[in-house]
Amino acid sequence: MAILPEIGVRDPKNDLASGATQKAFHSRRAYCKPQLLYVGRALDLILERTECKSRQVAERVRRLIDESNGSLSFSPACECQKFQVSLSLVSRQFKKLYQVTIRSYARNVRMKTAEKLLKQSKGLNIDEMARIFGYSFTSAFSRCFQQTFGKRPKRFQMQHSDGLQWPAAEQSDMKSGSQLQA
């Protein structure tokens, strides 16, 4: 709440013509208790409205991240521009609501989707997987995947392919090695 002093209010009882009494009047008025105006309440209402709007945009950003499976092509900044809300305000609200940043949430959604895809498709190349999720470099996708799951995507794919693809690859390597020796 803001405290604003009372300025320019005249009291007809104390309105005297002599200079000495006027000087006393001004010095006494200088130490009067200031009146409180309810500017703070108006400010609170404005902040609540802004927070409500940023909360709605934060919820929308989360929903769009989920729908796009965390794709890198989705931009929270564009959503903020559509609703004329500051990205930093939405980011703070997102962190307050979900205890994680927008970027971290999108990365987690992307990696969980990649995990499902790696488990389902046994023949999918890691390079193709990186391109599907919008990574320009396979190494960036692989590093992000390893940070999330503790394993590189290829090793994860081999371990979760029901043991069908990995032994076959080993046998073909052994056959080609034996052919080279002969």
pTM comes to 0.60
CATH classification of the domain holding 98? 1.10.10.60
Q: Which domain holds residue 69?
A: 48-164
Q: How far apart are CA 142 and CA 82, in angstroms?
A: 33
Domain count, the chain: 1
22 is a domain residue: no
Residue 100, helix vs strand vs coil? coil
Contact in structure between 133 and 71 (CB atoms under 8 Å): yes
Give, for all 182 residues of the chain, the pLDDT tens digit: 455 445 555 555 555 455 555 555 555 555 555 555 566 666 666 666 666 788 888 999 999 999 988 887 788 888 888 888 889 989 999 999 999 999 999 999 999 999 998 888 777 888 988 888 888 899 999 999 999 999 999 888 888 765 444 444 444 444 444 444 43
